[in-house]
Structure 1
């Protein structure tokens, strides 16, 4: 871009070159980091404003022309892999500063980034995104409304160049950059009209399955397997190829429904799991329903989808049981792989497996069915479609009556029969996904994503109302702060708080203070078990004399209460007598004076034992009052004779 003869452009170009020279002094080693700021240039940014004259449009045009001339010269002379290419990153930092100060067009930086992405290979685009990731918060903080369309256009153009199979990580980086740049409630990535990806056509081989039909008369019919080429037609109106093999899927489905084995002793029919040749066209025909769910509104298509998904689910369960019987859920030929693959384990293999579109060759079908990651991927697709069908029930549609986006509403209502099937199928898929390595975690992750996606679908159906709240004003913040301080401040206790009850009536109008009556020991002392003997008898009498069921039930409850308290008190002193009580009856054992007799017997036995012990040790025994004088006279005589 030539700027010969334009004085303002020449002056701005001179200032830009001085700023780039200053940036080289600040970052002598080059590279993306650190980011340049206004303070690094010591007032050099203000010189650009001084040298740009005229209206705002002329100033913006002069700065844009000067930047493009310098940018094109750098691209022509430097490679993105060289350290000297850091001058381009320095130029972008300067443009970011000018954009924030409103000295240039806000989207000028992303215009140059878009052109830079167009001139680089995929490897060079990764380096460009290293710069964008490091400056994302800074370059999207201000004037985002003038930049969002350029950001969206450049990222979408880059995604069209990338391969989702080979550049999966880079595609993820681009999407993450978009998600983090755009606000959460932005409508740019919302499919408001509810369009489906009908161009995603799954092409597979047309193989006629072999079906064995056994009927009651014993006649067996074998349908030979046939191979024919896929027929393609060109629609003159749309110009798109249409696959002419879907119509043959109904034939093996009808034959499969007749594949029933009858037993003379057992009247129940046993549905046999189809072989791989029979399952192959049925299985891949499900992809058409996954890409275009609205075709299930026709009864024939929905019935065909039901049969196909039922057959696929039975086959998946059979494969899982076979692999579990062999003691492994890995592929049959996995034991032949290297030691490094064995050390990683199947969990690492499942987490790293990614296939944007599976191959549909018949030779690979057996291996794909044996792959757990493949089965989970298909069942997640089925789970999404089943949830879509359940959203068409009368109960679910009633919740969306008030929505404004009528383009995502459908007049079709799912019948009770299909609703019951969809609910059962969803439960079967949920149980199956929880099996295998890390199955519980895998299903929890899938269920969480689908649950959150339902909220986004409901938000889209309501016309994407704004979900962002305005920032709190300074006045509201100050008022809330004052209220919070008042609520948390220490408060003086009042002698009579508001709403409290006056208790002076307890000490008025009586001879004795009511509070003193509450201190009576009879109110808090534990009664004896014998004190409940008479109340229990009265309760039994009330049970016998009750006239109505209500009176009888009240008497029974009163007896149970007194009985429980009696047993609780007696357990502390008469626990040994509980064996004589039969289910709360025959409480007389607790009230009889058997405990006193046992105590007397124990005292008598203790006295006899003490006498025997005293005899052995030579200690005197206890004596009666009548024997005491005789013994004393004998002792006196003995002493007198001894003295003599």
Structure 2
């Protein structure tokens, strides 16, 4: 008896039948035959949940997942083998993949099953068909990465890397960019799967160029030249100085050779060609410069390339106006694209005259110079001070101080050259921004890639933030009397105020000296009965205010009385006249015959003082009369 295959088992046959029902239902739910829109979930969710209804309780989850996977693969292989990807009926494959995404999210099958099928679909298609498959991937990216991404990430990475190996960087550059963008948008920023933790360089990126007209050179190998000519070129000819004729028998005197002067030799483009393209090996593997010989060769080659580049730039700027003076060809960089420059000798002169080509090489040099400057003693100490350090990102080589000065000067020269024009300043700023971010990226790798994922905000923090936001934006009522404002109740006509209250003489008539002195005495009595420190300070301030106002009024017409005012003493004895009785009590028995003579003198004195008091307020007559009556009363008593 033949053993049935896995696809012929009853549970798998049942699941396959239900999948076919789902695909038939999807045709009515999604009538379009394109990749987008996605299959609506509401129309198929019931049938998706029923995929496990034919299983008894004896089957565990592993068996159920395997049964769904086997049935899905059977249906998938049947569709892609019988329908071309450009055929409108190929929409059944997209519907099947949408169904499997929903199954993975709802626990009907393994979450990575749909990723496996997409990977196999990419393997089964040409590059043109892969573009259509990638349309599906880009349109479903958020749904694919929304749940259980930790189970799908490696499948995505493997399938995309395999696709990139198949594509040509020159012919399929735009498609390669789409693949990279998909990976960047799908994987979290702190995911280590796309990080070069060991800092390995892409040494496989070799540059082939011609040594002679027919012999290419690989990876900067030595040129094959004629030994005789090589010896003639490498040997430095000795300077021949004409000697004066010597007499027979005279002793020859050796002529001193002139001091050697080091001069920079400007190479022709033909001689510069191999020197220039050998620099690419240093760019692809900067660790070669740790050897002093290679470093010196790199410095020399870079200097010679810079001199030739300046010559080429002058011709280019003068002929096409890329310097920005006339605005011609300023936007040609937006359309200029070279995935890998050609290394033919015939094109070398034109490449040197191309400003975009020069910028490409100069940016490579900036990247390499920044790498060298990260190996100075100061920079290495700063990295060594980190708590966790990725040892594979650290190098034993330390850049000398002299080489560091050369690297710094080279970077400044390149920056100045790139910023020579207005458009060049924008380009240089963009390059600086990218290199600055790259430094931060390298530091993150040196720190062993600490997690940059922030924990979700707690419920308590969110509620507090919402409460604070409501409090800050709530509608506020203006108080009846804001703090610090003046009481304007006196303007109310109904409470003895308004315009008539403003006409009261007390509002614009200055008090007399007598009123001020009486007020001081009243405040003095209140001060003795003050209950707290605040009330005491208020009364003291009121007394000082009234004292100052009284003295200010006396300054106008009673200037002589100011000499009698003593600081801190009462003003009443100065500005108020004394009666005869008060004067007698003050003098006492100092004069034996103080009867009538005293009263006569007091009469004169009291009158004189009374005349001078309140002269400015118009109360002179009244004061004189009161003084006379007081004097008469004193005589009667005597």
Report TM bin, short chain: 0.5 to 0.7
Shift of 1:257: 11
Residues 230 and 243, structure 1, Cα contact 8 Å, conserved in 2: no
Partner of 2:111: 106
Shift of 1:161: 0.3
Determine helix, strand or coil for the equivalent of 1:204. Answer: strand
Instruction: Assess, with a 3 A threshold, how the Cα gap between structure 1 residues 182 and 514 changes in structure 2: closer, same or farther.
Output: farther
Shift of 1:246: 10
Shift of 1:417: 1.3
Residues 7 and 71, structure 2, Cα contact 8 Å, conserved in 1: no
Residues 12 and 52, structure 1, Cα contact 8 Å, conserved in 2: no
Q: Structure 1, residues 321-357: CA drift from partner, whole Å, max 9, x if none?
A: 2333446459xxxxxxxxxxxxx96345422333232
Determine helix, strand or coil for the equivalent of 2:170. Answer: coil
Residues 7 and 70, structure 2, Cα contact 8 Å, conserved in 1: no
Instruction: Assess, with a 3 A threshold, how the Cα gap between structure 1 residues 485 and 313 changes in structure 2: closer, same or farther.
Output: same
1:400 aligns with 2:378: no
Residues 259 and 272, structure 1, Cα contact 8 Å, conserved in 2: no
Instruction: Assess, with a 3 A threshold, how the Cα gap between structure 1 residues 247 and 456 changes in structure 2: closer, same or farther.
Output: farther
Residues 210 and 217, structure 2, Cα contact 8 Å, conserved in 1: no
Q: Structure 1, residues 104-153: CA drift from partner, whole Å, max 9, x if none?
A: 01100010001100110111000001111111101110000110010110
Partner of 1:38: 41
Q: Structure 1, residues 351-389: CA drift from partner, whole Å, max 9, x if none?
A: 233323222222221111111111111111001001111
Determine helix, strand or coil for the equivalent of 2:453. Answer: coil
For 2:306 and 2:536, locate their aligned partners in 1 and report how far apart those are by CA, in whole Å. 78
1:470 aligns with 2:455: yes
For 2:439 and 2:535, locate their aligned partners in 1 and report how far apart those are by CA, in whole Å. 59
Partner of 1:273: 266
Question: Aligned match of 2:350 in 367, 390, 395?
Answer: 367
Shift of 1:511: 5.2
RMSD of aligned C-alpha atoms? Answer: 3.6
Instruction: Assess, with a 3 A threshold, how the Cα gap between structure 1 residues 411 and 304 changes in structure 2: closer, same or farther.
Output: same
Q: Structure 1, residues 139-189: CA drift from partner, whole Å, max 9, x if none?
A: 110000110010110001100000010001100110111111100100011
1:352 aligns with 2:335: yes
Determine helix, strand or coil for the equivalent of 1:466. Answer: coil
Partner of 2:203: 198
Partner of 2:544: 512
For normalisation by structure 1, the TM-score amounts to 0.66
Instruction: Assess, with a 3 A threshold, how the Cα gap between structure 1 residues 229 and 320 changes in structure 2: closer, same or farther.
Output: closer
For normalisation by structure 2, the TM-score amounts to 0.66
1:323 aligns with 2:316: yes
For 2:265 and 2:184, locate their aligned partners in 1 and report how far apart those are by CA, in whole Å. 48
1:243 aligns with 2:275: no
For 1:68 and 1:351, locate their aligned partners in 2 and report how far apart those are by CA, in whole Å. 45
Shift of 1:280: 1.2
Determine helix, strand or coil for the equivalent of 2:192. Answer: coil
For 1:428 and 1:259, locate their aligned partners in 2 and report how far apart those are by CA, in whole Å. 36
For 2:262 and 2:433, locate their aligned partners in 1 and report how far apart those are by CA, in whole Å. 39
Shift of 1:198: 1.7
Question: Aligned match of 2:415 in 402, 425, 430?
Answer: 430
Aligned residues: 465
Partner of 1:96: 101
Instruction: Assess, with a 3 A threshold, how the Cα gap between structure 1 residues 270 and 70 changes in structure 2: closer, same or farther.
Output: same
Question: Aligned match of 2:68 in 63, 67, 81?
Answer: 63
Larger radius of gyration: 2
1:160 aligns with 2:165: yes
Matches within 5 A, 1:271-350: 271-326=264-319, 328-329=321-322, 346-350=329-333
Determine helix, strand or coil for the equivalent of 1:512. Answer: helix
Partner of 1:135: 140
Matches within 5 A, 1:447-462: 447-462=432-447
Shift of 1:268: 8.8
Instruction: Assess, with a 3 A threshold, how the Cα gap between structure 1 residues 115 and 291 changes in structure 2: closer, same or farther.
Output: same
5+ long unaligned stretches in structure 2? 240-259, 485-532, 553-638
Q: Structure 1, residues 243-300: CA drift from partner, whole Å, max 9, x if none?
A: 344999xx99x9799999xxxxxx9976352211221121111111111111111222
Shift of 1:449: 1.1
For 1:75 and 1:439, locate their aligned partners in 2 and report how far apart those are by CA, in whole Å. 52
For 1:256 and 1:438, locate their aligned partners in 2 and report how far apart those are by CA, in whole Å. 46
Question: Aligned match of 1:17 in 16, 20, 23?
Answer: 20
Partner of 2:610: none
Instruction: Assess, with a 3 A threshold, how the Cα gap between structure 1 residues 181 and 282 changes in structure 2: closer, same or farther.
Output: same
Question: Aligned match of 1:176 in 177, 181, 184?
Answer: 181
For 1:196 and 1:247, locate their aligned partners in 2 and report how far apart those are by CA, in whole Å. 31
Matches within 5 A, 1:498-537: 508=540, 512-513=544-545
Question: Aligned match of 1:443 in 414, 418, 428?
Answer: 428
Instruction: Assess, with a 3 A threshold, how the Cα gap between structure 1 residues 65 and 514 changes in structure 2: closer, same or farther.
Output: farther
For 1:515 and 1:389, locate their aligned partners in 2 and report how far apart those are by CA, in whole Å. 83
For 1:414 and 1:274, locate their aligned partners in 2 and report how far apart those are by CA, in whole Å. 29
